[in-house]
């Protein structure tokens, strides 16, 4: 369960970063900056997906004998 909580905390941190980047995108008109921010946002999406995979893997591994 501790791993799931850690993954959840990581996901919340990632989402906070994503919100910040999205706000910067909304307020920025420079195309290079927009491209950089979009790349950062894509990287955060990958981090979030990895955190979700880790959480699911932990739950499956913990419950495997019962499945």
pLDDT bin (cut points 50, 70, 90) of residue 52 is: confident
- As a whole number of angstroms, the distance between CA 59 and CA 54 comes to 9
Asked whether residue 2 carries a pLDDT value surpassing 80, the answer given is: no
Angle at 40 between CA 37 and CA 45, to 5 degrees: 125
Residue found under tokens 């980047």: 21
Residue-level pLDDT at 1: 60
């Amino acid at each position: 369960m501790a791993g799931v909580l850690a993954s959840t905390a990581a996901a919340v941190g990632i989402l906070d970063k994503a919100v910040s980047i999205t706000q910067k995108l909304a307020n920025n008109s420079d195309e290079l900056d927009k491209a950089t921010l979009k790349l950062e946002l894509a990287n955060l999406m990958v981090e979030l997906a990895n955190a979700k995979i880790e959480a699911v893997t932990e739950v499956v591994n913990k419950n495997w004998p019962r499945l």
